Amino acid sequence: MYKISLKKKINSIFTAKKSREEIFEELEELLILSDVSAERAVTLLDRIRKKARLGFEKEDFIALLKAELSDIFHPPDDRDNRSFCSEVRLPDEKNVILVVGVNGSGKTTTAAKLAVYFRGQGKKVLLSAADTFRAAGSSQLSLWGERLNIPVIGGDRGADPGSVVYNSLNSLKSRDHDLLIVDTAGRVQTKDNLMKELEKLTRVIQKFYPSQPAEIFLVIDATMGQNTLDQARRFSQFSGITGIILAKVDGTAKGGTVINIMDEMKIPVKFVGTGESEADLAAFSADEFLDSLLGD
């Protein structure tokens, strides 16, 4: 699933006779070229340098790097080591999922993919098009709904997203459905407004179901390289995010993005988007990711 491997490149760094410093310089370059942020690459290698014995070999480096990355993949709030799981499950009750992210990140497509994923687990899914800010926001999700045979509750352009979500929750409550997935607006006039909007939606949801939303997923476009952190930081004021979905990992051969995001946000990556169709969503497994990054 991940087309990234650093193993060959690490091997080539360790081939010729080089000083320890030359090796570390080349390793730093390799991490940065793989989209790990420069600051993070330096910190990671400093920690490894301190632990590496004199005359260390590539196997030592790979083991040390793997240990450092494993630490990054265990954010403090990842109580059940869920970033190491290969399936995401929801509690056995009516659930609500909010999908947030900047426009163009792949948010609407991801909402549709999530609907298919959880339908595969037996959930009866309802979609809510609360992205009323954009002209095409609502209709795009409706098209997905028709294609997937999943009902979509929408609103006209400019309608209050809170009222769309309210109507959707009423449907969730009265109908024989058990999961509502809400596609939210990726842009309002200012960042503060965006956060207020998301907080408002959360409050509306909690009036119906105090323990919901079960998940708030932040969708991030993996092809944006170093800029993915800017996308993540836009939402850092909004404390409710429970997981990250990295969309478009099929469009990048670099793994640094996952490392940056997990290290910066301390929030687990839960899914990766691997293409444009509804089936192109996979639960993220840190084990698989590390194996493909550092395995043969």
Select the span of 45-53, 83-91, 100-108, 256-264 touching ligand GDP (CB under 6 A): 100-108
The percent of the chain in helix, strand and coil, each rounded to the nearest 5, is: 50, 15, 40
How far apart (Å, rounded) are the C-alpha atoms in residues 263 and 239?
Answer: 16
Is 231 near ligand GDP (CB under 6 A)? no
Pick one of 263, 280, 284, 285: the residue that binds ligand GDP (CB under 6 A).
280
User: Tokens 């340098």 label which residue?
Assistant: 49
Calculate Rg over the CA atoms of the chain: 21
Q: Which of 37, 29, 38 is nearest to 6 (CA)?
A: 29
188 binds ligand GDP (CB under 6 A): no
Binding span for ligand GDP by CB under 6 A among 60-68, 116-124, 234-242, 268-276: 268-276
Q: Note whether 130 and 201 are within 8 A (CB).
A: yes
**Other beta carbons within 10 Å of 144:** 22
Omega before 213 within 30 of 0, i.e. cis: yes
Query: Binding of ligand GDP at residue 187 (CB under 6 A)?
Result: no
Q: Which of 85, 90, 135 is nearest to 108 (CA)?
A: 135
- Return the residue nearest ligand GDP (CB atom): 273
Q: How far are the Cα atoms of 1, 17, 269, 283, 294 from residue 289, in angstroms, in the given order? A: 9, 30, 11, 11, 9
Question: Would you count residue 103 as binding ligand GDP (CB under 6 A)?
Answer: yes
Stretch that binds ligand GDP, among 14-22, 50-58, 97-105, 208-216 (CB under 6 A): 97-105
Identify the helix (H) or strand (E) that includes residue 295: none
Residue 261 C-beta: closest distance to ligand GDP, Å: 15
Q: Is 148 in the site for ligand GDP (CB under 6 A)?
A: no
CB of 114 to ligand GDP, least distance (A): 12
Closer CB to ligand GDP, 106 or 243, in the complex: 106
194 binds ligand GDP (CB under 6 A): no
Binder among 40, 82, 94, 107 for ligand GDP (CB under 6 A): 107
Which residues form the interface with ligand GDP (CB under 6 A)? 101, 103-109, 186, 247-248, 250-251, 273-276, 280
